[in-house]
């Protein structure tokens, strides 16, 4: 890497629901704070997701739990 080069973010995939959530976040942010802020917020989210994809070891391993017991109602 030379000079001011920024390392490229890792590739990641979003589920359809995650993509729809991001669209909703952008829509609400645009309504509340304007287009520029909404665009920057979404861009920042993508940067963070790229960093997480490139460095998965930095996150905590989720301990899977069994389903909670069902109770009768």
Chain segment 28-68, per-residue pLDDT in tens: 999 999 999 999 999 999 999 999 899 988 887 767 766 66
Long-range contacts of 49-53 (CB under 8 A, 24+ apart): 49/9, 49/12, 50/9, 50/10, 50/12, 51/9, 52/12, 53/9, 53/10, 53/11, 53/12
**CA 54, CA 48: separation in Å to the nearest integer?**
10
Q: Domain spans of the chain?
A: 16-58
**CA 24, CA 64: separation in Å to the nearest integer?**
29
Is residue 1 scored above 50 in pLDDT? no
Taking only the tens place, the pLDDT of each residue in 2-17 is: 555 555 557 889 999 9
Read off the pTM: 0.67
pLDDT of residue 60: 77
Residues in the chain: 73
pLDDT of residue 59: 80
């Amino acid at each position: 890497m030379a000079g001011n080069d920024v390392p490229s973010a890792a590739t990641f995939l979003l589920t359809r629901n995650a993509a729809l959530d991001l669209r909703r976040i952008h829509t609400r942010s645009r309504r509340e704070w304007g287009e520029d802020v909404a665009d920057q917020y979404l861009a920042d989210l993508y940067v963070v997701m790229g960093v997480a994809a490139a460095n998965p070891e930095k996150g905590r391993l989720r301990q899977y739990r069994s389903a909670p017991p069902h109770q009768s109602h």
